[in-house]
Chains A and B, each alone.
Chain A
Amino acid sequence: AQKVTQAQTEISVVEKEDVTLDCVYETRDTTYYLFWYKQPPSGELVFLIRRNSFDEQNEISGRYSWNFQKSTSSFNFTITASQVVDSAVYFCALIFDNYGQNFVFGPGTRLSVLP
């Protein structure tokens, strides 16, 4: 099965709090790519990060960090010191190299950061 699960439908935090968005995926291929996208109200998808299945290194980019663990099939996303501008819907997504090559999206997590 090709499936991405984001268990948190909606999250609300107060500005400056840290927040972690969960992503769990199912795969039947050894070669795949994991992504996080941000979708603001305009609808346009904003690319945040890509990870391939052979690179389990965690990554930090400013206030954003990602934790990739193949053992638990998870690719979690943490925003440190959240800001109001972080309010959006966040999608975790997956591409398999050998099956279809299309994006498989999770259901999304709507993050609201309150001032």
Chain B
Amino acid sequence: GAVVSQHPSWVICKSGTSVKIECRSLDFQATTMFWYRQFPKQSLMLMATSNEGSKATYEQGVEKDKFLINHASLTLSTLTVTSAHPEDSSFYICSARDSRSPSSYEQYFGPGTRLTVT
């Protein structure tokens, strides 16, 4: 149990285009999902917190108009990188918090999506 998928696992896009990344909890419901970004040889940094049915909360320095987050169902959150630039090239990982659990530690990571913008 407790599986989180991400799609696609990798994507290459041209500068100026948009790309959508999906994060799905496969066998549990997730009211809250988190999006992290990891640049090469760096740690994972929280970008935003996604709550089902409401607007996402973005960390300081993350452009909400550039990184659009939609959490339309209890099992799916999407991150759309709009007008992508080479500096957006990164590894994007989501985690999903199991809604059934009262404990915040019941979170599970997706396998990540590697985005390359050319």
Q: Using a CB–CB distance below 8 Å, which chain A residues touch chain B?
A: 33, 35, 42-45, 47, 50, 52, 91, 95-97, 100-108
CB pair A105–B44 under 8 Å, yes or no, is: yes
Q: Is the CB of B43 within 8 A of A105?
A: yes
Listed by A's residue number, 23 A-B pairs whose Cβ atoms lie within 8 Å are: A43-B93, A43-B111, A43-B114, A44-B111, A44-B112, A45-B93, A45-B109, A91-B43, A95-B105, A95-B107, A97-B103, A101-B32, A101-B97, A102-B49, A103-B36, A103-B46, A103-B107, A105-B43, A105-B44, A105-B45, A107-B42, A107-B43, A108-B42
Give Cα A95–Cα B10 distance, bound, in whole angstroms. Answer: 28
Residues of B within 8 A of A (CB): 32, 34, 36, 38, 42-46, 49, 91, 93, 95, 97, 103-105, 107, 109, 111-112, 114
Closest 8 CB pairs of A and B: A101-B104, A33-B105, A44-B111, A43-B112, A105-B44, A105-B43, A45-B109, A107-B43
- Find out whether the CB atom of A100 lies under 8 angstroms from the CB atom of B49: yes
The B contact surface, by secondary structure, is: strand
> What is the bound-complex CA distance between A108 and B43, given in angstroms?
6
Chain A residues closer than 8 Å to B107, beta-carbon distance? 95, 101, 103
CB–CB A106/B43 < 8 A: yes
On chain A, the residues within 8 Å of B46 by CB distance are 102-104
CB distance from B40 to the nearest CB of A (A): 11
A46 CB to nearest B CB, Å: 9
Bound form: Cα–Cα A43–B32 in Å: 23
Query: Which A residues are in CB contact (< 8 Å) with B42?
Result: 107-108
- Chain B residues with Cβ below 8 Å from A102 are 34, 46, 49, 95
Contact of B105 among A43, A52, A105 (CB under 8 A): A52
What's the minimum C-beta distance from A113 to chain B, rounded to whole angstroms? 18
Query: By the criterion CB–CB under 8 Å, are B44 and A91 in contact?
Result: yes
Nearest CB on B from A68, distance (A)? 15
* Complex Cα–Cα for A105 and B34 (A): 13
